[in-house]
Structure 1
Amino acid sequence: MTPPEQSLLDWKDGEIPVSRQFDDPYFSLNDGLAETRHVFLAGNGLPERLQEGFHIAELGFGTGLNLLALCLLQPAQPIRFTSFEAFPLSADEIARALDHFPEARAIADPFLTQWATGKRAFTLGSVTAEVIIGDARETLGQWTEKADAWFLDGFSPAKNPELWSPDLMAEVARHTAPMGTFATYTAAGHVRRGLADAGFTVERRAGHGRKRHMSIGVLA
């Protein structure tokens, strides 16, 4: 496993970060911000469900694009966001990636400034965020909170199967509040079965762009 702060990237077209380890881009080549809004926000019924104390958790922080998309909603009430990331990017790498999305980049400086100092807990507007560094197969089991909604945004299950294992999906369910939800860009059968076995009612929906399907679910 690559130590934290040493993620190795290639840059497609000079602007889209691609993990050398997983040979997978950090966001969709077909407008990653639009995909985030379609999959993770709309897929979890956001912003309609947001209320004071609402807690969102995420597997795979990456460039922070999902967090910034959430902040762009300008939630009226304080909400919480917790992300699990094994291979954190540097502030410079994140800034370079976010330049691809001017709307997100425009609000990113307070986050980037704190990230560059090593802070992994910070507040952006009404969103209190924490990024837990380490292998989610270890760190999620130690987490004591429960999320109202999950963004399952690891690298492709074909490239990073560890982040989609049945055991980890069971941990996701164990750390989900009653009637909590998940959304993910993947519709891989083994992922959907793992989530269903963990207790979620799983539904396949139309994906974003060229992706035919995505998955959403609610904890039964």
Structure 2
Amino acid sequence: MRGQTAGLEWRDGGVPVSTRFDDPYFSLENGLAETRHVFLAGNGLPGRLGEGFRVAELGFGTGLNALTLALDCAAMGGGCAVHMTSFEAYPMAAEDMARALAAFPEVAGIADALTGPWREGRRELVLPGNLHLRVIEGDARETLPAWDGMADAWFLDGFSPAKNPELWDADLLAEVGRHTAPDGTVATYTAAGFVRRNLAEAGFDVARVPGYGRKRHMTTARKVAR
């Protein structure tokens, strides 16, 4: 099931902003540093990476999170296959993706490994560092329940809960819980109270921790054994 194309405008010297949600795709301060702080460190990565480790994500966006993870996999030697599945309702065009990623010199050397296949319509590929990426297009409220996979770590990177509440509702986060391995983790930039409550109801031990940049707090969570 293919999603609808993302609607974009470019602001503040080249930051892509969703016209549907009026929200930027990454931090206006430093999107790459935000990814490392929120999604990687928030899930204890790269320290937990190893053969067969599984990452899942709500909100593929520009692909910056995947490429940052690929850099960490490559830095570890790339000998272990890591698997990442991302759910995206409104995929970017390859040209827009490439323009957005050009803002980050650190990923520039590997961005073509994503944008080239993406332009050809491929949504399953292997990025540098032996990161096996699959992007599932369509509404996550439909595609996640149908997914037969499990994750050891989740990147919850949808647009702001205030502007895109559907991606943070109790039913969808319950599916995140259902598709999380024992002791699996979640990290997200938001500390919205209803998101934390929904994660707790989904079976997670939830913590509010220091956020990145202007965001005072973010959320991490670990699946509780029952």
Structure 1 length-normalised TM: 0.97
Give the deviation of 1:111 after TM superposition.
1.2
Q: Following the alignment from structure 1 to structure 2, what is the Cα–Cα distance between the partners of residues 139 and 80?
A: 18
User: Which residue is 1:102 aligned to?
Assistant: 105
Instruction: Give the AA of the match of 1:61.
Output: F
| 3-state SS of 1:201 partner | strand
Structure 2 length-normalised TM: 0.94
User: Which residue is 2:193 aligned to?
Assistant: 189
User: Which residue is 1:210 aligned to?
Assistant: 214
The yes-or-no answer on 1:130 pairing with 2:134 is: yes
Give the deviation of 1:207 after TM superposition.
0.2
Give the deviation of 1:102 after TM superposition.
1.1
Q: Following the alignment from structure 2 to structure 1, what is the Cα–Cα distance between the partners of residues 144 and 5?
A: 22
Figure out how many residues of one structure are paired with residues of the other and give that number.
218
Q: Is the 8 A contact 1:5 1:89 kept in 2?
A: no
Map residues 99-178 of structure 1 onto 2, 5 A cutoff.
99-125=102-128, 126-178=130-182
Q: Following the alignment from structure 1 to structure 2, what is the Cα–Cα distance between the partners of residues 4 and 169?
A: 20
Map residues 16-165 of structure 1 onto 2, 5 A cutoff.
16-73=15-72, 74=74, 75=76, 76=78, 77-125=80-128, 126-165=130-169
Give the deviation of 1:6 after TM superposition.
2.7
Q: Is the 8 A contact 2:17 2:24 kept in 1?
A: yes
Q: Is the 8 A contact 2:191 2:219 kept in 1?
A: yes
Q: Is the 8 A contact 1:5 1:90 kept in 2?
A: no
User: Which residue is 2:9 aligned to?
Assistant: 10
| 3-state SS of 1:71 partner | helix
Q: Residue by residue, what CA displacement relative to the aligned partner does 1:138-196 show, whole Å, maximum 9, x if unpaired? A: 00000001000000000000000000000000000000000000000000000000000
Percent pairwise identity: 61
Q: Is the 8 A contact 2:35 2:65 kept in 1?
A: yes
| 3-state SS of 2:110 partner | coil
RMSD: 1.0
Structure 2: 5+ residue stretches without partners = none
Q: Following the alignment from structure 1 to structure 2, what is the Cα–Cα distance between the partners of residues 147 and 84?
A: 13
Structure 1: 5+ residue stretches without partners = none
Q: Following the alignment from structure 2 to structure 1, what is the Cα–Cα distance between the partners of residues 158 and 4?
A: 17
Q: Following the alignment from structure 2 to structure 1, what is the Cα–Cα distance between the partners of residues 23 and 108?
A: 22
Q: Is the 8 A contact 1:86 1:136 kept in 2?
A: yes
Q: Following the alignment from structure 1 to structure 2, what is the Cα–Cα distance between the partners of residues 210 and 53?
A: 35
Q: Following the alignment from structure 2 to structure 1, what is the Cα–Cα distance between the partners of residues 208 and 190?
A: 9
